[in-house]
Amino acid sequence: MNRLIARDLRLAVRAGGGFGLGLAFFLIVSVLVPLAVGPERSQLAAIAPGILWVAALLACLLSLDRMFALDWEDGSLDLLATAPVPLESVALAKGAAHWLTTGLPLTLLAPLLGLFLNLPSAGYTMLVLTLAIGTPALSMIGAFGAALTVGLKRGGLLLGLLVLPMYIPTLIFGAEVVRRAAQSQPYQTPLLLLAGITLGAIALLPFAAAAALRINLR
C-alpha cells in the first residue's frame, strides 16, 4: 500500500495537475471574492469560513477524475485487480495520495488565504484543524465517485454530480466550526460530527469503491 501511495505521488508531481491546479484554484477564488463583494471588512469576515471551505471543496473536486482514469487507460488497473493487494487497499491508497497532493497543501495554505477574506484571528486554528479533519473525507468520497465513473466517456461531469451532494455535510460542519470559533461560540458538536463523517468515510468507502471497481472491470 505504501508503494501505491508513493507511485501516485510521483505521478501527481510529474503531471502537475492535482498539486498545482488545486492550489491555483483555491488562490484565485480567495482573491476574486473580495473583489466581487467589496472591501467591507465585516462582510468579508462573515462569509470567510464558507468561502474558504467552498473553495477547498471545489479545488479537491478538480483532480478527482484522474484518480483511476490513468490506470484504466494504460491497463494498470487490471494488474492491480489481480495483484495480491486487495482492491480495498488500492482505493484507500488512491484516496490517501489524493489527500497528500490536494487536501494537505490546501490545509497549509488556508491561513494565508484567510487574510484576503479578513478571517478573524480566532478562526485560524479551527480553519486549519477542520480542513485537516475534513479533507480526507472529501478525498475518500471522491475515490468512491471516481471508481463508479471510471471508464465512462465524459465521466468527469457525472463524477461532479455524484460527489457534490455527498460533500454537503462535510462542507456544512466544517464551515460551521470555523464560523463559531471566529465568533467565540462553542464549536465542539459540529467538530465531532465532522470527525465522525471522516472516520465513517475512511472505514466504509474503500469497500464501496472496490466493489464499484470490480463491477467496472468485468
Query: Domain count of the chain?
Result: 1
Helix (H, G, I), strand (E, B) or coil at 16: coil
CA distance 66 to 192: 31
- Let me know how long the chain is: 218
Over the stretch 5-38, which tens digit does the pLDDT of each residue have?
A: 777 677 666 665 556 777 888 888 888 888 888 7
CA distance 211 to 30: 38
Domain containing 155: what range? 2-217
Over the stretch 166-196, which tens digit does the pLDDT of each residue have?
A: 999 999 999 999 999 999 899 999 999 999 9
CA distance 56 to 137: 12
Over the stretch 42-57, which tens digit does the pLDDT of each residue have?
A: 888 888 899 999 999 9
CA distance 188 to 49: 16
